[in-house]
Structure 1
Amino acid sequence: MPNPGTASWQSILPFHKLTQWLTYSLMQPMQSLLNMHFAGQELLTGLPEYRNGGLFVDLGVLNLKNDDMERGLQNYAEYCKRNGTKAIEVAPMFEPSDDVVVEWRGATVGLLDVLCAEVNKALKTELAGNEMTLPQLLEAGSWKGGREIAEINRPNTKEPPILIDSDGTVF
């Protein structure tokens, strides 16, 4: 929460994706079972991870620029050669710190907010004043949807549409 004398944005700390996922996972049962209230929970963002972000790429909401696509495909070819793996379902690959990944994660966070608002608007009658929260959308909608569309589009590997050359701890 904001401290006196500081701008509200100065007191917002970004969470590591896995830490934020754990936070969301713990908040829901603590609220439901223990009637706990968490101040500032509206400041938590959507999770900028590959299932949520992959959903937006697979559905055509986000697209790579041609130069980035070519560079990513070259990265993937080099990765396969370096590791002696066969390219079954080819996808562009980038390092976690690459601008493409940073932009993808940032766009994912913003688009999740838009998606949540649009889902609530579309389901206004059915929800009858009980709007879906961002964590509910993540769990029941975007993460699951991203996983399922990845399985449809890439049935052999079920990988996201953009690969991250990482040990899995960043995205």
Structure 2
Amino acid sequence: MTPPELAALRSPAAVRARSHQVLDYVRAGHSPHFTVDESALDGIADYVAEVTRLAYPTLDIPYHSRWRHFDAGGVDRWAALETTLEGVDRAERSRIMIDLAVVSVLLDAGAGDAWRYHEAQTGLTLGRSEGLAVASLRMFEAGGFSSDPARPLRADAPALIALDAGTLGRHFQVSDDNPLVGLAGRAALLNRLGHALAARPDLFGDAALRPGGLYDALVPQAKVGRLPAALILGALLDGLSAIWPSGLQVDGVALGDVGRHPAVRVDDLSDQLVPFHKLSQWLTYSLLEPFEAAGLAVTELDTLTALPEYRNGGLLIDLGAIVPRQPIDPAQKQPVASELVVEWRALTVALMDLLADRVRERLGLDASQFPLAKMLQGGTWTAGRRIAAERRPPAGPPPLAIDADGTVF
């Protein structure tokens, strides 16, 4: 039984509240690492609004999710794959989309600068997140995550448990001349996903143990066809917390993506703990469309937080809202569990909350039209990548590099 104070960390409300505690700590001048300049947020809002209008002139902005990467090169690969699903009902289409999104997001750790994926179907060669997304979709299409040859468009526990690095490497075109960072770690993460699915038939289905079983677990919780986004995140954190190899453990409980920071002081087991759940929230954003495809309305999107990762956080450093007290060498990797990185990530969550209303004002949109899920897409992630390329050409690494195993960033 998870102690209640630790269970409470598995919520976006805890991510937001504790991140704002860190912001208050830094505002008060207690941090040896950073100061904040909130006056810089107006200029950042101008920049983000400009980037958003360039990318989406009509302001018809989709969610920030893995589905955007599947469209790399302007190719709507899911639409093409969906044409093969004639006769499949909406519920099963949703399960298939969930299966694809989950395995693809979990494979979305940094690829390194050298790796590329050549897509035979289009002739495109893609790297980074876009290449990983397309490679995972093509592997999914080929049945690479399914144990049932009659049902290739599936990811299930037996296939994931049996997957090895060599098989993953063949599908991802890995070779000595085309190295992919962390190949063995990616395969091991999918193995752990398989074991997690098998351990929770209540969440992932009694028959075919698959991520898509979340559809059947969560639909009964939707009231009049409305499913709060936090319920999706809660199910992911409940069912998948054990898959993160470097996640913090307290009192024998695997907490996942949680750091320690002295800004948070309470008299219980959660003392100094700051949750982030970046990949789980990214996965939640990537499951909005699968649930909506089944006819559900996913509600209360802004209970989720901005993603505390290097593009959003890098934007805030590069444009002066987060100010390092000492120069940071972007080539020097910082441990992901370090106080400096935990603080940077918490400041990113909190300051993105303050940035959102400023960007909405500039775009003439309200929170219902422009939730964080759309600001990230429009938005701050692209702006972070763009300013990084301008400041540190040509590759555009973030201003602060992280030594992580791919299960956080």
Same fold, TM exceeding 0.5? yes
Which residue matches 1:155? 393
Give the Cα separation in 2 of the matches to 1:153 and 1:36.
Answer: 43
1:52 aligned to 2:312?
A: yes
Which residue matches 1:96? 336
Instruction: Give the TM-score of the pair, scaled to structure 2.
Output: 0.32
Which residue matches 2:303? 43
List aligned pairs for 1:1-171, cutoff 5 A: 10=8, 13=11, 16-28=277-289, 30-31=291-292, 33-38=293-298, 40-66=300-326, 69=327, 72-73=328-329, 90-124=330-364, 127=365, 131-171=369-409
- Alignment deviations for residues 83-134 of structure 1 (CA, whole Å, 9 cap, x no partner): xxxxxxx54531101111101100100111111111112222xx38863110
- Alignment deviations for residues 16-62 of structure 1 (CA, whole Å, 9 cap, x no partner): 2122112102214533x444133553321110000000000111111
What secondary structure, in the 3-state scheme, does the structure 2 residue paired with 1:159 have? coil
Instruction: Give the TM-score of the pair, scaled to structure 1.
Output: 0.71
Count, aligned residues: 142
Give the Cα separation in 2 of the matches to 1:114 and 1:27.
Answer: 24
2:335–2:341 contact (8 Å) kept in structure 1? yes
Amino acid at match of 1:63: V
Q: What displacement does 1:167 show?
A: 2.6
2:360–2:367 contact (8 Å) kept in structure 1? no
Give the Cα separation in 2 of the matches to 1:24 and 1:118.
Answer: 22
1:96–1:164 contact (8 Å) kept in structure 2? yes
Rg: which structure is higher? Answer: 2
1:48–1:108 contact (8 Å) kept in structure 2? yes
Distance change in 2, residues 1:28/1:111 (3 Å):
farther
Identity %: 43
Give the Cα separation in 1 of the matches to 2:285 and 2:379.
Answer: 15
What secondary structure, in the 3-state scheme, does the structure 1 residue paired with 2:377 have? helix
Structure 2 unaligned residues grouped into runs of 5+? 12-274
What secondary structure, in the 3-state scheme, does the structure 2 residue paired with 1:94 have? strand
Please identify which structure carries the higher strand content.
2
Structure 1 unaligned residues grouped into runs of 5+? 1-5, 74-89
Q: Tell me which stretches of 4 or more aligned residues in structure 1 moved more than 6 Å.
A: none
What secondary structure, in the 3-state scheme, does the structure 2 residue paired with 1:19 have? helix
1:92–1:161 contact (8 Å) kept in structure 2? no
Please identify which structure carries the higher helix content.
1
